Chain A
Amino acid sequence: MESNLKNDQMPTKKVIETKKLSRIFKNGAIEVKALTDVDIVIEQGEFVAIMGASGSGKSTLLHIIGCLDRATSGEYNLDGVQVNALDKNQLADVRNQKIGFIFQSYNLLSRTTALENVELPLIYDRTGQFSNSKEIARKALEQVGLADRIYHKTNELSGGQQQRVAIARALVNNPALILADEPTGNLDSKASIDIADLFVQLNNEGKTIVMITHEPEIAQFAKRMIYLRDGQIISDKLIENRSTKEFALKELEKPVTP
């Protein structure tokens, strides 16, 4: 393994492996290279933050990793599945079984209870492995600390709580990979730190997390940071001094120094 990870636990499994991944958008005669020859390997149990300016290609990368979009060229292997070869329905099933999505604006169903929202991915399950979806959804909500809010409707919850519901929804089908697209983008600093801390907890429980973010303080919670610019990886390194909830909260209280 040429990965630059410390590998002190059990032998790890590649959750994501891309080879020379490129994505070109054609708009008439104009070609826009959103991604160029991206090679990434992410192993089980990692917590990766992907950063980069607008237009750096990080959203495109996330869409391809999340099987919502296809690469123009290159290979993508997700949890042992060669994604390039899959048709639309198989892609949908991969999204359902292997990926948990978390969005910036939560994307919960309005006027619907937290429990029903969390159950949603199980509706589309075709493997039949989730016989008691209510119970599973309840457990996922407990996992994100919302045991007392399961019958609240989404409009009765705060932003941070809504994002927790969304995280529970991403967890409920026990995916190989959790993909978060600017999960703290709509939250205040305090709630953002709570969510980042929740990611750390889930990661500690073994979840593989890939998170796109603009905010360096949030990225600092991850184990590894990939920096994109103009569709290429310009830096990929482990984070030395990972942030913690206590540290981040303390930082918040510091006066802003000019």
Chain B
Amino acid sequence: MRRFYKIFKVAFHSINKNRTRSLLTMLGIIIGVGAVIMTISAGEGATLQVQNQISGLGTNLLMIQTKSEHKAGINVRMGRPIDKKDFDMLQKNSVWMPQLSPLVAIGAQAIGPNGYKSTTVYGVSYDYFYITSKEIALGNFFTKEDVKTAKKFCVIGETIRQELFPGQDPIGRQIRLDKVPFTVVGLLTEEGTGGMGQDMDDIVIAPYTTIQNRLYGHQRGYNLIMASALSENHIADAEIEATELLRESHKIKDGDDDDFEITTQIELQEITGNITGILTILLGAVASISLIVGGIGIMNIMLVSVTERTREIGTRLAIGARESDILTQFLIEAIVLSLVGGILGVIFGIIGNQIIYKATGFYIPTAVYSILIGFGFSALVGVAFGYFPARKAAKLNPIDALRYE
């Protein structure tokens, strides 16, 4: 152990003697490790952001809609539309879905006293606010009673307020959606940009009854039914329950396919998790290539160093170093180079993440496992690329090495 410590010191000493060269050699590893950490962390950051947005979609969310299929590039509804009958049936019978809301969405022109804006109008019931975890900034949500009586009330997003009531309090004011006048009763808390880059505040929410009666042309169906499961653990139960209830009510025979689709929040998270996971691996792999290049740099320098120090190796062998001592010395030298490079790379990566955060506002949490990967990889590179030169040094014939000019 003492001897190992001494050989370690010898290796460190010779790195220190060639400081500029050592630093340049390390640069490859520094950049490699830094890149691995930054890319993996960026992937993690993206995952986190998308996951947050998905959980921001609602609480233990389930979405029930008519089955659709892509035909010639168009989404075609396959089954009978989800409608009031389904909604009433679910509301009456469901155990695991305490909150349910229909959703009818139409594009409409919102016109206010000071401007207008093309937007999407969502017709929903009161439960929708709970299901989608909406928060109110000013005024109130419309009530269950308002929905039942199809009041011409609406809640608007911040973007709509800015377009229609720049710098004003919109509560109690009139707007028109297409030609129908509505009273603004609430302003939603700003949400910003969504996971797909859409403006989450470009929204008008009104009772679905009103929308169906006044704007929707008396169409029978809903776009979808949104529901909230009792708890996160009951999302799967809720999905099974909804499937069974709907199959029964739609009179689908055993063995036939459902004519509706249920998407849960968990499924959404899994899908996006897969996508961002693949992305992270891909980016990490690209970054790892730079680590390998860095390793080749270390091997190159170590080979030069072995040749340059042939006489020194001969002397060491003559005064009693074993082959394994020489091997250890050069291997340690390579490993120290790559590990110190690795440490600096970790620092570089963390600082890089901070700089990106400061510059773009894109929060990148430095993933602990990315540090471990980067660091472990750099050690591996040191061993892998240090071994060949070290072996070359150890296998030198002492007599030839002593004579080497």
Contacts and interface: CB of A to CB of B under 8 A. Distances in A.
Interface of A: 63, 66, 68-69, 88-89, 92-93, 95-97, 100-101, 103, 107, 109-112, 116, 120-121, 123-126, 128, 169, 173
Interface of B: 2-3, 6-7, 10, 13, 17, 311-312, 314-325, 398-399, 402
**Chain B contact residues: over half helix, strand or loop, or mixed?**
helix
Contacts of A89: 322-324
Closest 9 CB pairs of A and B: A96-B320, A107-B315, A92-B322, A123-B6, A121-B319, A124-B320, A95-B320, A124-B321, A101-B318
B320 A63 contact: no
A100 B320 CA distance: 9
B321 A92 contact: yes
Nearest to B311: A107
Contacts of B402: 68, 103, 107
Contacts of B2: 128
B291 to A, nearest CB: 31
Given A107-B311, A111-B17, A126 B319 contact: no
Nearest to B321: A124
B3 A92 contact: no
A107 B321 contact: no
A88 B397 CA distance: 11
Contact of B13 (A66, A112, A121, A126): A112
A182 B370 CA distance: 58
A120 B399 contact: no
A69 B316 CA distance: 15
A96 B319 contact: yes
21 contacts: A66-B318, A68-B399, A92-B317, A92-B320, A93-B320, A95-B317, A96-B319, A96-B320, A97-B320, A101-B319, A107-B402, A109-B312, A111-B17, A112-B17, A116-B13, A123-B3, A123-B321, A124-B321, A125-B3, A125-B320, A128-B2
A121 B322 CA distance: 11
Contacts of B17: 110-112
Given A69-B399, A103-B402, A124 B318 contact: no
Contacts of B317: 68, 92, 95
